[in-house]
């Protein structure tokens, strides 16, 4: 009986240690908060590309609610990730949308992109979850 208790205690301790080292994955509400702070002025409250600054922008902001529709019904996680994070090879002047990569790089979580676990900024993982959630 004592041996069972020791094994059970050791197993519980190990599970607790793992739970402490693996951060909880961000979800859509966390991404919605980032969207509200950083994206609404151009993409609008519902993400349809109709924010208050749209009149002065060329090209017009993308309707973020139809990204999956334009990708055969599947949310284009890899493409959205690379566009939002920013491509270091491109100058920030070559696109209207700001690059968020530098501010996000410290807190990474693993998300699956095209079958590969990819270290991704936590806030961006939440934003991707939110964007996937608003597809119509």
Question: What's 4-25 look like in SS3?
Answer: HHHHHHHHHHHHHHHHHHCCCC
- Give pLDDT tens digits for 45-84: 999 999 999 998 888 999 999 999 999 999 999 999 888 8
Q: Which residues does 79 contact at the CB level (< 8 Å), separation at least 6?
A: 71
Q: Is residue 124 classed exposed, middle or buried when 0-12, 13-18 and 19+ CB atoms within 10 A define those classes?
A: buried
> Is residue 7 very low, low, confident or very high in pLDDT (cuts 50, 70, 90)?
very low
Mean pLDDT, range 11-19, rounded to an integer: 49
């Amino acid at each position: 009986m004592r041996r069972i208790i020791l094994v059970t205690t050791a197993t519980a301790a190990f599970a607790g240690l793992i739970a402490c080292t693996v951060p909880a994955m961000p979800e859509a509400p966390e991404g919605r908060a980032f969207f509200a702070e950083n994206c609404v002025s151009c993409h609008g409250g519902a993400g349809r590309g109709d924010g208050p600054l749209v009149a002065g922008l060329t090209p017009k902001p993308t309707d973020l609610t139809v990204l999956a529709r334009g990708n055969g019904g599947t949310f284009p996680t890899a493409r959205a990730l690379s566009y939002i994070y920013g491509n270091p090879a491109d100058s920030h002047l070559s696109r209207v949308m700001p690059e968020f990569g530098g501010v996000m790089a410290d807190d990474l979580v693993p998300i699956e992109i095209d079958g590969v676990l990819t270290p991704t900024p936590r806030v961006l993982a939440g934003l991707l979850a939110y964007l996937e959630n608003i597809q119509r």
